[in-house]
Amino acid sequence: MKISARNTLKATVKKVVPGSVNTEVTLELAPGVEVTAIITKASADSLQLAEGKEAYAVVKATDVMVAVD
């Protein structure tokens, strides 16, 4: 896989929750470290996402904010 994004993290699909339009995908980056993404149902189908499958979390953002209580 070649991609221009620098923040590419190898992961394992932990959970896939399909909806009528979008699919919620939870990826486990390391034990206890997860990231969740909302992607189109068509994209999830095209990628054939399923629990246990290896995937990549690709983070491309122009802003990252940090907040505390």
| CA 68 to the chain's CA centroid | 24
The 10s digit of each residue's pLDDT in 2-19 is 777 778 889 999 999 999
Q: What is the pTM of this model?
A: 0.83
pLDDT of amino acid 60: 78
d(Cα 52, Cα 68) in Å, to the nearest integer?
33
DSSP symbol at 4: S
- Mean pLDDT, the chain, as a whole number? 90
pLDDT at 37 over 80: yes
The CATH number fitting domain 5-57, selected from 3.20.20.70, 1.10.3720.10, 3.30.70.260, 2.40.50.100: 2.40.50.100
Chain-centroid distance, C-alpha 31: 15
Domain ranges of the chain: 5-57
Separation of alpha carbons 14 and 36, rounded Å = 10
